[in-house]
Amino acid sequence: MTGFSTTIYNSLGHSVGGASGSRQVGPDARVSLPVYFRNLPPGTYTVGFRLNTSAGNSAIWGYPNGGAPAPSGPLVFTSLPAA
């Protein structure tokens, strides 16, 4: 794997944050992907992600407008009101 992108979607399917860059597969064959956001209003959000290889192949998961469903179900998190 040579590159990635992540996108955060709100409950209406609109993009509200994410990240992109390069990553290496760890010695345990795992990859950690960052997701950046600021000041999200309270609510439930879904994360879609894309992985790219040095051979020019790519695969996408969890995007509301295409790609495969995320493995083990959607990546979902909830933003709570500030205390």
Concatenating the DSSP letter of every residue in 43-79 gives EEEEEEEEEE-TTS-EEEESBTTBSBPPTTS-EEEEE
Give me the amino acid identity at 41.
P
Q: How many domains does the chain have?
A: 1
Q: What string of pLDDT tens digits covers the 83 residues of the chain?
A: 789 999 999 999 899 988 999 987 888 988 888 887 778 899 999 999 999 988 999 999 998 877 898 888 888 999 998 77
- Give residue 17's domain range: 3-79
Residue 76 and residue 14: Cα distance in Å, rounded?
Answer: 14
Residue 12 and residue 48: Cα distance in Å, rounded?
Answer: 14
pTM over 0.85: no
